[in-house]
Amino acid sequence: MTIDRRPTLSPAHPASASGNQNLGDLPVWKLDDLYPGQTSSEFLGAVQKAGSDALAFETKWKGKLSIALETVGENSLAQALREMDALEDLLGRIASYAGLTYYSDMTNPANGKFFGDIQAKLTDMSARLLFFPLELNRLSNDAVDAAMDRDPALAHFRPWIVDLRKDKPFQLDDRIEQLFLEKSQTGAAAFNRLFDETLASLRFKIGDEEMPLEPTLTMLQDADPAKRKLAAEALSKTFKDNIRVFTLVTNTLAKDKDISDRWRGFEDIADSRHLANRVEREVVDALAEAVREAYPRLSHRYYKMKAKWLGMDQMNFWDRNAPLAETPDRLISWDEAKDMVLSAYGGFAPEMAEIAGRFFDGGWIDAPARPGKAPGAFAHPTVPSAHPYVLVNYLGKPRDVMTLAHELGHGVHQVLAGGQGAMMCQTPLTLAETASVFGEMLTFRALLDKTTDSKERKAMLAQKVEDMINTVVRQIAFYQFERKIHTARKEGELTAEKIGELWLSVQEESLGPAIKISEGYETWWAYIPHFIHSPFYVYAYAFGDCLVNSLYAVYQNADQGFQDKYFELLKAGGTKHHSELLAPFGLDATDPSFWAKGLSMIEGLIDELEALDKAA
């Protein structure tokens, strides 16, 4: 199951589950909607049933799909796919419960053991099911197409089958595939867990106080420059003290990916991600190039303006997300944040607000920051038979409201796509970011429209520009960094110093001359979870932001019918290619001008800020 991990831009400070006097009661999710407990009869029974069902499925169908292809009804390929869909739902529900329990407190050894044990059992079950896609892909395409034309029940799964064929050129012998799968739990999965637990256990000393990652990162947004500097120094010191672990994890996973790519025959280091995202390499290359060409017009230009606003010739790297003097310093309570997001969603479509409201009313959100809790934010779709869950670390800052809007956009998307079933509901990462960024944009525009004070408007616009730079420019810089790391790793193991050099090279290029890169920043690659959990994931954020900018422009100029087309896009899940989904809106991601349109919206907001600045 995919867990979307929001870029760590505005982490939250510690708060108890009951909240504090400024934020109100912060909700904690209710995982008993999945299972009552780790030792409950419901959960243990589900694990036992999953194991027996996986064995029964293997016994019934392995080596028999060619016969099933010629059959209609009980022993048909359509029936096999229905049974596989049900199994995927059951396995996904178990995995979701174990994963969300673990992410609630990653430093609890009992949670780690529970997660590891369940992962091992699920891997064993998945190994029994691995034959199915491999054997199906060995059937003649013409024969399968003819069967789908003949049998409507099989035709229902056409999008999944057509999608599966794209993996065929990179498919290995069954025994090798099984080895890769089973060894993953002692390879990549183990190093992912090492990264997570190491990061969750880190403490950063500021004065006499030792703090976890979240509140330390939050201090980078403090209005006091001295506090921002102290936080940056603490982060740099602790990252440096632990850099050997992060270097080992990075080297190991890069090599692991290189081995897998070589065996499967991928030409480019990012091709496996492009395949998973069902997006063409040329489209991603065009996006990356368009953003890099726009660095001077976007980040370089904006940070030069911000340095002037802060009274500096150059900002220190820790000043990048500092608040402007015009930024209101009051905290936004949880109830206020809820009203802001639901009001914005409702202004677009009542159905969107109704679905998002379920997350608040049903205990589907975990909001307070706690020691050991996963950093940042994410939305986890679980499975169609259940409902999604959202994790945020709520601070009460405007950025946290935007993060909430972002994750609820994912949540709405996941609810709507659930109708496609477990095998076809998951959307490629590029399009998965569409609903989240669109939800953010709706919320921002709704709040901006209510703002009449020019100083407050300037602060809101500046914050939005910074968020867009973080989502587009910063993520493409991350993508370029990953490309450099994985390319260099082919020549041998990388030292921490070499990784730091590569990190600084892309940061200096993307941030521009208005940001002073000083000693200590060379280790800040270490805490980015995307590099570890999902190599090359990051370009999906830039893809989604630029796409939504173009999509929102269509919405602003649409007379009617936009909402219906938008909901059809979300309901499609993983059943359609991005070209099919964007066509009703007159958009084409293969057109080079598409990305220019998306980037022009960011440039337009910077123009507005410049005009406000001159008028002041």
- According to CATH, what is the number of the domain 34-166? 1.20.140.70
Query: How far apart, in whole angstroms, are the C-alpha atoms of residue 27 and residue 361?
Result: 10
**Which residues are 351's β-sheet partners?**
none
pLDDT for 395 equals: 82
Sequence-ordered list of residues with C-beta below 8 angstroms from that of 268, at least 6 positions apart, any chain? 274, 281
Tens digit of each residue's pLDDT (9 = 90 or more) over 342-365? 999 999 999 999 999 999 999 999
Tens digit of each residue's pLDDT (9 = 90 or more) over 78-112? 999 999 999 999 999 999 999 999 999 999 999 99
Query: Rounded to two decimals, what is the model's pTM?
Result: 0.86
Are 392 and 403 in contact by the 8 Å Cβ rule? The answer is: yes
Which of 532, 533, 580 minimizes the C-alpha distance to 278? 580
Sequence-ordered list of residues with C-beta below 8 angstroms from that of 377, at least 6 positions apart, any chain? 5, 6, 390, 391, 392, 393, 403, 406, 407
Name the strand (E) or helix (H) holding 378.
strand 377-380
Token pair belonging to 213: 């990652």
Which of 239, 209, 191, 281 minimizes the C-alpha distance to 483? 281
Confidence of residue 451 (pLDDT cuts 50, 70, 90): confident
- Considering Cα of 518, then 523, then 529, then 531, what sign does the dihedral take? positive
Tens digit of each residue's pLDDT (9 = 90 or more) over 148-169? 999 999 999 999 999 999 999 9
Tens digit of each residue's pLDDT (9 = 90 or more) over 128-144? 999 999 999 999 999 99
Instruction: For 37-50, give the DSSP string.
Output: -TT-HHHHHHHHHH
Which residue carries 């178990």 as its tokens? 94
Are 307 and 519 in contact by the 8 Å Cβ rule? The answer is: no
Token pair belonging to 463: 């914050």
Residue 453: count of CB within 10 angstroms of its CB: 11
Q: How many CA atoms lie within 13 A of 78 on its CB side?
A: 17
Which of 340, 562, 307 minimizes the C-alpha distance to 570? 562
Which residue carries 């999509």 as its tokens? 551
Residue type, 155: A
Q: What are phi and psi of 20, to 5 degrees?
A: -135, 180
